[in-house]
Chains A and B, each alone.
Chain A
């Protein structure tokens, strides 16, 4: 039964089945499946999808669909991990948001979803996030990575403002800063002192993995 549950968790991710993923996660908890093993099964599923995406066999909707299935199941298993006093091994913690004055959310949300599915703990602050709100989240969560999105050339400089706040408060060497969004280029990222930039969501997640490795 336990092996069947693990197999079904993996299959739910591969088949983009959000409802199935949640119900098999609940079933795993009920049947006493080790929650860390259940999480591993989900991860195997998302990695399979990610590899197929990397080979050009699957596309962004497949990747995001599988990630959504995975992120539906994960909180149920995480709750069980906490209840048992265990600790989940995460790849790292990411604070993410679209900068102040910018209301574009889709790119940022794809990055957040894919990162969570890959095993990062993601704190998504939403859109139009002020430098102060970013700083608050950094003080509270002490992330490995701060990821900021800006779609507009008018709002891109807000990323520089946040980096300046990090420097002023002595956090700059404690967190890696990755920037993205339609208005951002490699040159701009370099100019404002970010640690990294990638033009697409899957590439950003690969960069996050390199950073924490």
Chain B
């Protein structure tokens, strides 16, 4: 299993116990009084059979508090997620902290910062880089990009998942899937004997759309890991207040938990935070805003009480359109506060320009942010050996010093985190080496990874299984007329490349 990082101190708490209880009670009240619109008859019937009050005309289910609390108790507080390489399984829960990338729909051009579709080669290279980065522990989305050039929209997730399976030996999940493509993702997971996280995207306020509920059924019935999302935009799809949106988001998450735990008791579930203040000028979510941090800390405090592993997805995106100062501070502050608050999985790597672009250079830079945060979480070891009283007495005043001591050789590497793409040179060295910035170092590191890192290959049988499922998906969507003649012709030509599937 991947160790990730261990938080060796109490998590950050900004609410009193009474305040946490007030948010919990508020959510239970909303669930009982107003309930959730669930556009899925089978789900409504199941909820009704288990004590919910259901109005089929309004497609509304109202939840008795006792049922909500009973279903919360059915959720395991810790579980394993199986990766292709068993050494890279995740074990979630407690004080373990992992990091993963945040997706961008397209690749950002690193000269102009304009978005464009990634090529097939860029997609596979992006996955390879994520495989190589020490602090990317899993993938939980259509990462790095939403498909690549030449692929029709409905095939973008299945093609992306195939690339992840081929070039990423750590665990894989996906938080939202269009056009029922989870069917093919689940088949790939089963063929390889791995977990494939996924499930139902919630539409705030208080609505579960039918297609998403269907996806949840498929995941839960296949025995895969799923999640309960909290996705309000404060002032847009939730109240403008962080506390109010914690109530509405929590009501949505708790309703999702009830549904999943009724479909299959004991289903492994994460609690996902993907909530933002609304930008009150343009109307989009305020990515990277400090409200994200406050909301994450509240969310973590609440969900630690419920005992589910916690993921903060909103820590990954930034409002900045390019790799710059704003991009760095927005990501670092969001990720650090998430980590301090007790989140178990933090989305961070690679995203630039909200959810619109990703670049591996940003992922390489973010890997250092993850490393720094991880080091902070490990805390300060206080033992006889680290206190080093005998050593201090032995070294004494100047000219005594510590650089030549065995204690130093042993401990500095355990105590310090050394970033891989940051400038720490002295000024004369910096001049002599061409005045390189962190971004320059990231470029060098990217070239090095692509030249040297080789992901663990699939066996021929696994490769065949993936290709067979892709073929089935292509034929299915073609038959359903979800791929036009024009798209099909471009797609088929792209498959004829001598480098298929890599470029």
Contacts and interface: CB of A to CB of B under 8 A. Distances in A.
B282 A200 contact: yes
A153 B179 contact: no
A207 interface: no
Interface string A32-71: 0000000000000000000000001001110000000000
B237 A106 contact: yes
Q: By CB atoms of chain B within 10 A, which of A56, A60, A155, A156 has the most? A: A60
B156 A61 contact: no
B282 A103 contact: no
Given A153-B156, A154-B153, A154-B156, A110 B115 contact: no
B154 A103 contact: no
B489 to A, nearest CB: 15
Given A61-B235, A152-B178, A185-B115, A157 B153 contact: yes
Contacts of A103: 203, 209
Interface residues of B, number: 25
B146 A153 contact: yes
A174 to B, nearest CB: 25
Interface string B143-161: 0001100000110100000
Contacts of A152: 178
A152 B105 CA distance: 9
Interface in B147-206: 147, 153-154, 156, 178-179, 203
A192 interface: no
B355 interface: yes
A205 B237 CA distance: 22
Contacts of A110: 283
Nearest to B354: A182
Contacts of A185: 115
Contacts of A107: 283
A154 B235 contact: no
A106 B236 contact: yes
B389 interface: no
B178 A101 contact: yes
A81 interface: no
Contacts of B179: 101, 154
B175 to A, nearest CB: 13
Nearest to A152: B178
B78 interface: no
A15 B237 CA distance: 23
Contacts of B280: 59-61
B281 interface: yes
A200 B283 CA distance: 7
Given A101-B178, A153-B156, A154-B179, A60 B281 contact: yes
A201 interface: yes
| Cβ-closest 5 pairs across A and B | A59-B280, A154-B178, A200-B282, A154-B153, A60-B280
Given A152-B178, A154-B154, A182-B355, 15 more contacts: A60-B278, A60-B279, A60-B281, A60-B282, A60-B283, A61-B235, A61-B280, A101-B178, A103-B209, A107-B283, A110-B283, A153-B146, A154-B156, A154-B179, A200-B284
6 contacts: A56-B281, A152-B178, A153-B147, A154-B156, A200-B284, A201-B283
Interface of A: 56, 59-61, 101, 103, 106-107, 110, 152-157, 182-183, 185, 199-201
